[in-house]
Amino acid sequence: MTTNKNNIPLGDDIFVVKEASVSEEASLQQLMIDTASWLKSRGSSQWSDILEGTDVHGLSDRIRDGEVFLVLRGAEIAAAFILRKTASDWDARLWNDHGKDAPARYLHRLMIAREWSGKNLSQAILDWASKEAEHTGHVAVRLDCIADNQKLNTLYQNAGFTNIATVDGFCIYEKKRRN
């Protein structure tokens, strides 16, 4: 059996990771709003910018730059995420004292459609992102989350990410390439 590096097997399902196109932006915006609303309903202030009508990560620009990925099950968008090729100003600020100049990919806006939550899809996506970073010659995948979001911190730790530091109320995590 030939494996495709963009396939994510999960239980009986096969998900396909593909780069997002401009024509999919409206669907991505809706998934982002749905995710932000869900986070707010759970008492989290993470992604509050989305509900205020701004997007600090610039989804349109990230799509144009080939840094937004969809996770599809058939034609259905099950998840999406941003995997930046370079550090944003936000990333550079958080990683300033922690090796910001190392060639790393930066993961943002991991969004899971609610019907796929609780099925370990986040874990599978984090694994895929780590392999993609390695495949593209980067030494690590980096990400951050609000420090008091215990569920997200646990997810990242269980996915093999190391908590490097807490900067301005955000935990920064890194998963280095295997040698």
Domain harbouring 167, CATH code: 3.40.630.30
Token pair in block for residue 131: 């392999």
| Domains: count for the chain | 1
Token pair in block for residue 53: 């009508």
Q: If you count them, how many residues does the chain have?
A: 179
DSSP annotation string for 87-108: --HHHHHHHTTTTTTS-EEEEE
State the residue range of the domain holding 51.
7-176
Q: Is the confidence at residue 4, as pLDDT, over 80?
A: no
CA distances from 155 to 17, 19, 123, 167 (A): 20, 24, 7, 19
- pLDDT, tens only, 47-90: 888 999 888 889 999 999 999 999 999 999 999 999 999 999 99
- pLDDT bracket for residue 2 (50, 70, 90): very low
The predicted pLDDT at position 106 comes to 97
Q: Which amino acid is at 165?
A: A
Angle at 110 between CA 109 and CA 116, to 5 degrees: 140
